[in-house]
Structure 1
């Protein structure tokens, strides 16, 4: 069987999303200022935010809402024509432009037969929230308590400390009667949500009937519960909303619609198509940023410096935030010296602790799959489109009212592997962190990884931490599942021979071999549930990948090496919020160690990745960060 690489996955995504040819687009008029170029800038701003993604626009909105505090957001990508992103029709109709993603490939992945993966990250105003599959989930309570545990008791980085920001960050829309009728076993509790944000968590009015079989299948498993709400911070099987306005426009809801469009503020500026090259420092104080147009690759392009009167806030994401710090002389001294960059702050953890969710392909075909209303062998089929259009035009229902998935299983290892989870935990507890990191890793980085391993060894034994994630589709089987808490960590560092080119992304998948053991348990569980269950026998399931002949650990590991995706497009951890002695980059106020007036606010601050898609968590981090900045407290 040929390897299904990330590049193949990208090709499949591109085909589904109907990538179009390059064209020119008009930008709608906005009340906040979208600047045409550096000539329209103020002399200085109170806050300069690097990155106009999920976190950057959220922080920019909150800091400028007094109408007086001046804020500039600088974004590498374009301010795209809204309808090209906003439209919530099924994935087949989305028109994603190829220049809305960066062109980055990872280094060869040793444990994946030297696979080089496409690093799929957004390059457009709105960031990942503009292009993701709109999954509105938040993980479990333990994910957030784990962050604060590295600082000792009393940290506000906990479930209780984050829940208020989950609430303020999203406007929950009660599902309509039509929606409820199509979501059996739906539970929701609005006390876990807010109602003031312009960022919506809404519900489509259509679900494929086949989902009920998958939901029932998992619900009846030993130890699997249906939580009172998808946002309750618990493991189980549940329905969850989509980042969409399900009551009004039936459009994608993301950082731009929630935190930029239609804001009537002359003090909130956005400079798109602009690449930040470094942060300026006066001694150990951040004073501003240097940038140029991102429309040219010439190193001779004109550079402009803008001053930040109060702070620079770095929200460029887990791939580019560490790169910008390193280009500014903030990072591992040895790396910076190799690149010819003067070290201004020796901070070994910058770019280390890189994490992502790990996915594995597992394909099941149903020979007697008649549980959907219209077989979708080809989503471009005119008959299917006509049927979907008819439903949409009649009452705004049908497939065009939904984006992707709205339900799935999010399960712990004691549930997945009741006979082996204790031995897996014991194995991790005895590991020496230095054995699974690059040889030249700094002692503080090693100490931080050792602390994470201890925390994850405990998580393996818990019924309240997610290790297995699988979406339910209902129209056709989802052909993969993910490991939500991999032990392996990678790195994102500048290219020492060409520092201003794209950074060197090294996933180091399965560098901790216990990940093979955990993935093996997940795979065997997935087979038992989705192939061998009596409930699905009527549909005649046939496992086509890896195939029933794969039974031994050796065969399974061989399959993993050829069919693992090192990324679920959820990069995190490269500017970890950890104590300095544990390789941390930012403290509990998200301030960069050793630098005054500089914070990092994005997914890179996660010390341990959460067991969920990252968007909802990033919005909450940004809301909490804005509160910290405005109020001067944790």
Structure 2
């Protein structure tokens, strides 16, 4: 193999696969893509309904664990990250949420100049092919296939949407369009019944290009520096350590855990953090690994009066039938992630855009995919998505095989605890609307006895789980904790960029795969020196009375 390339990309994940495609598409540059994991050609990755398997499999995901979380009763939280072609887009839930338009305006306010919604929207459009056609908000010629799965065939999906409207919230037919706030169908990155990861959408079409080299099972040790210039990468494959050089740039796309960890292993970061791990300081940059943010969620579970939930499909025989149909036809229950309706609401008056997110599931099951109780049920996942608590990723050893220290400080901030109290109370009101009367039976979790602030706080500390959206650890901006500038260049180091969810200044209201892909699409143009796409003038849908009301202004119907 050649040992010199124009660009070296570390990490074949949601961002790295996009960059590998875009930087090689005109044949001008040679690109090396390094990935610690291996092939994504597994039925458990490609079949959407099997989503819980790769996330919990060491072969396909780093099984990171946090330090004891001080505000979650010292629980250690699971933090899986993709370790396979496609990265976390090959192990995630395939939910496609861009975030609210104001989330990106917020980035601009934090110093990420040029990353407001008007400049980001054209790249969201460039990336996708929306199953129902393009418009001012949606793309129709991009690599990423996006649809609604099985079109909400199970009546529980529509009942949940109707209940949200009955409770006084908007109906929003496309939360990725003009207006996020409200209830409606949910979108997923599935194409022709197959998980449409960035490996499938971007990397596979580029694999035969002579100017792209992909090396798997390659553990990056460090970025090679000559003074304040990045010149290459040291990596290990099959026990052999090799140095490769970059003629133009090294680009880290190892994710919000991997990218700051690799910078620290390379001697770039906070002096105290590096020296405590026995690493010589090459460039002091105190924000590396700081500003860590994530989404938490828990789920409400109810028994279902009618035998129509997916709990009737969780036995081995039905799983065999679902899998067989998917293998033969790529359709049916195997071709969906089962999150086909959703909601985005504001937790209280005075919040300008939604900070709570719902995923509705017509089943009651645990995170490992097993049924939660005998009989039929349904659940709704709910989380407060604009946390104010901040954590860190810190290198623990100079050995690149040693996991970093991770702590999110979940629920440290009172505003986050307040947000989860709203989650409990507002969700209960929605599920008790008339639209759910034909289906809703006893509340299983949290349980009707959980209603005071103290009881809710205790339940949340015990039951809440990560939504697996770590981000913001190499934040973009110009302040003292910023790691990269608005062109994703590492401050103070030439020839080195970070392009992945770690560069988000703040976490958006939604799942992170879509905005990560968008960031990589726009960064690819910046890296190549191309004129960025013209900003959009599309309107942003906001409740005009957001300062005075918590919902659309329609009073909730009596809940019987």
8 Å CA contact retained: 2:55, 2:80: no
Alpha-carbon distance between aligned partners in 2 of 1:377 and 1:401, rounded to the nearest angstrom: 17
Q: Which residue of 1 aligns with 2:159?
A: 213
Greater alpha carbon shift after TM alignment, 346-355 vs 513-522: 513-522
| 1:451-600 mapped onto 2 (5 Å cutoff) | 461-462=351-352, 464=353, 466-475=354-363, 476-496=377-397, 500-530=401-431, 532-565=432-465, 567-581=466-480, 583-600=481-498
| 1:159-174 mapped onto 2 (5 Å cutoff) | 159-174=117-132
Gap runs ≥5 in structure 1:
1-40, 175-187, 296-300, 423-460
Alpha-carbon distance between aligned partners in 2 of 1:375 and 1:257, rounded to the nearest angstrom: 28
8 Å CA contact retained: 1:362, 1:545: yes
Task: Report the CA distance shift for 1:266/1:387 in structure 2 as closer, same or farther (over 3 A).
Answer: closer
Alpha-carbon distance between aligned partners in 1 of 2:81 and 2:52, rounded to the nearest angstrom: 20
- The C-alpha deviation readout for 1:104-163, integer Å capped at 9, x for no partner, is 2110011111101121111101001111111111111101110011228xx320111001
Alpha-carbon distance between aligned partners in 1 of 2:52 and 2:227, rounded to the nearest angstrom: 52
Alpha-carbon distance between aligned partners in 1 of 2:194 and 2:479, rounded to the nearest angstrom: 43
Greater alpha carbon shift after TM alignment, 47-56 vs 74-83: 74-83
8 Å CA contact retained: 2:111, 2:479: no
Q: Which residue of 2 aligns with 1:285?
A: 229
Q: Which residue of 1 aligns with 2:346?
A: 412
| 1:389-404 mapped onto 2 (5 Å cutoff) | 397-404=331-338
| 1:37-436 mapped onto 2 (5 Å cutoff) | 41-81=1-41, 83-89=43-49, 91=51, 97-151=57-111, 155-174=113-132, 190-205=135-150, 207-228=153-174, 230-232=176-178, 234-246=180-192, 250-263=193-206, 264-293=208-237, 301-366=239-304, 368-370=305-307, 372=308, 376-382=311-317, 386=321, 397-413=331-347, 417-418=348-349, 422=350
8 Å CA contact retained: 1:51, 1:316: yes
Alpha-carbon distance between aligned partners in 2 of 1:159 and 1:74, rounded to the nearest angstrom: 31
Q: Displacement of 1:613 after TM fit?
A: 0.7
- The C-alpha deviation readout for 1:165-211, integer Å capped at 9, x for no partner, is 1111112223xxxxxxxxxxxxx864322233232113434531221
- The C-alpha deviation readout for 1:439-475, integer Å capped at 9, x for no partner, is xxxxxxxxxxxxxxxxxxxxxx21x2x2111112235
Alpha-carbon distance between aligned partners in 1 of 2:210 and 2:327, rounded to the nearest angstrom: 39
Q: What secondary structure is seen at the aligned counterpart in 1 of 2:154?
A: coil
Greater alpha carbon shift after TM alignment, 503-512 vs 403-412: 403-412
Alpha-carbon distance between aligned partners in 2 of 1:375 and 1:103, rounded to the nearest angstrom: 28
Q: Displacement of 1:75 after TM fit?
A: 0.5
Alpha-carbon distance between aligned partners in 2 of 1:490 and 1:47, rounded to the nearest angstrom: 31
Task: Report the CA distance shift for 1:390/1:195 in structure 2 as closer, same or farther (over 3 A).
Answer: closer
Alpha-carbon distance between aligned partners in 2 of 1:91 and 1:338, rounded to the nearest angstrom: 38
Q: Displacement of 1:291 after TM fit?
A: 0.6
Q: Displacement of 1:619 after TM fit?
A: 0.6
Stretches of 4+ moved more than 6 A in 1?
92-96, 390-393
Alpha-carbon distance between aligned partners in 2 of 1:284 and 1:553, rounded to the nearest angstrom: 52
Gap runs ≥5 in structure 2:
364-376, 533-560
- The C-alpha deviation readout for 1:290-330, integer Å capped at 9, x for no partner, is 1112x5xxxxx432110000000000000010010011111
Q: Which residue of 2 aligns with 1:31?
A: none
Q: What secondary structure is seen at the aligned counterpart in 2 of 1:77?
A: coil
Q: Which residue of 1 aligns with 2:371?
A: none
Which structure has more strand as a fraction of its residues?
Answer: 2
8 Å CA contact retained: 2:268, 2:285: yes
- The C-alpha deviation readout for 1:323-379, integer Å capped at 9, x for no partner, is 10011111001111222212121111000000110112432223x134x2x763451
Which structure has more helix as a fraction of its residues?
Answer: 1
Q: Displacement of 1:384 after TM fit?
A: 7.0
Alpha-carbon distance between aligned partners in 2 of 1:96 and 1:112, rounded to the nearest angstrom: 22
Alpha-carbon distance between aligned partners in 2 of 1:236 and 1:390, rounded to the nearest angstrom: 34
8 Å CA contact retained: 2:265, 2:398: no
8 Å CA contact retained: 1:379, 1:385: no
- The C-alpha deviation readout for 1:504-559, integer Å capped at 9, x for no partner, is 010111111221112111211111222x3233233342222222122211111111
User: How many aligned residue pairs are there?
Assistant: 517
8 Å CA contact retained: 2:44, 2:51: no
Task: Report the CA distance shift for 1:129/1:579 in structure 2 as closer, same or farther (over 3 A).
Answer: same
Alpha-carbon distance between aligned partners in 1 of 2:252 and 2:85, rounded to the nearest angstrom: 15
Task: Report the CA distance shift for 1:396/1:304 in structure 2 as closer, same or farther (over 3 A).
Answer: closer
8 Å CA contact retained: 1:138, 1:231: no
Q: What secondary structure is seen at the aligned counterpart in 2 of 1:120?
A: strand
Give the TM-score, by structure 2 length: 0.86
Task: Report the CA distance shift for 1:390/1:80 in structure 2 as closer, same or farther (over 3 A).
Answer: closer
Give the TM-score, by structure 1 length: 0.77
Kindly report the root-mean-square deviation, in angstroms, between the aligned alpha carbons of the 2 structures.
2.5
